[in-house]
């Protein structure tokens, strides 16, 4: 990419890709979580009801792919975070902010390991044997995703785009 864009723009673009993937993942997982936590008995209704009335099983593969892609892009830009973001954060005394990033990386890895069972449970959505496990793992992943997204957002506000 040398000569096309500046180094700052290059990494900001990757951060933006990470954000876009994360938004897609967050939307898909939130739809699914709402569908399993508050299932709809009559599909018609207001916006909240329609939000819950999605064909949730169709999201499973997309969620897995998006989680892995977001994870990989996040892993790629993490090298720059470690040098150009974390060190200034520590120098500025923002230890809790840095701590939350480490918390985020651990949650992202733990979430990654849940994907095979999550995918299996959703691909067997006809089997009532998996209903409780599917609901539990979907809700856990949705909460993790919201946590990852909010921490990433706050960190970006602290020292992110164009810094």
- Interface positions with other proteins (CB under 8 A): 35-36, 39-43, 52-58, 75, 78-80, 82-83, 86-87, 95-96, 98-99, 102-103, 105-107, 109-121, 123-126, 128-137, 139-140, 144
Q: How far is the CB of 23 from other proteins (least distance, A)?
A: 23
User: The tokens of 154 are what?
Assistant: 């706050």
Name the residue nearer to other proteins (CB basis): 20 or 99: 99
SS3 per residue for 63-88: HHHHHHHHHHHHHHHHHHHHHHHHHH
Name the residue nearer to other proteins (CB basis): 16 or 95: 95
| HSE-up (13 A, CA, CB side) for residue 108 | 24
Name the residue nearer to other proteins (CB basis): 98 or 152: 98
Q: How far is the CB of 91 from other proteins (least distance, A)?
A: 13
Q: How far is the CB of 104 from other proteins (least distance, A)?
A: 10
CA distance 94 to 125: 45
Q: How far is the CB of 36 from other proteins (least distance, A)?
A: 7
Name the residue nearer to other proteins (CB basis): 17 or 140: 140
Helix/strand/coil percent split, the chain, to 5: 80, 0, 20
Q: What phi and psi values does residue 64 have, to the nearest 5 degrees? A: -60, -45
Q: How far is the CB of 76 from other proteins (least distance, A)?
A: 11
Name the residue nearer to other proteins (CB basis): 43 or 162: 43
Closest to 17 measured CA to CA, from 63, 65, 76, 58: 76
């Amino acid at each position: 990419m040398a000569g096309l864009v500046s180094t700052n723009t290059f990494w900001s673009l990757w951060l933006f890709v990470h954000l876009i993937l994360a938004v897609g993942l967050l939307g898909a997982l939130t739809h699914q979580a709402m569908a399993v936590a508050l299932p709809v008995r009559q599909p018609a209704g207001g916006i909240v009801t329609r939000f819950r009335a999605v064909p949730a099983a169709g999201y499973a593969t997309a969620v897995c792919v998006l989680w892995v892609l977001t994870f990989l892009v996040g892993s790629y830009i993490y090298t720059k975070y470690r040098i150009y973001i974390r060190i200034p954060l520590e120098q500025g005394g923002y230890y809790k902010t840095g701590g939350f990033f480490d918390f985020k990386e651990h949650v992202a890895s733990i979430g990654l390991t849940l994907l095979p069972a999550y995918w299996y449970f959703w691909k067997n959505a006809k089997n009532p044997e998996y209903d409780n496990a599917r609901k539990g793992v979907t809700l856990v992943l949705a909460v993790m995703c919201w946590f990852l997204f909010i921490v990433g957002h706050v960190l970006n506000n602290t020292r992110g785009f164009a810094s």
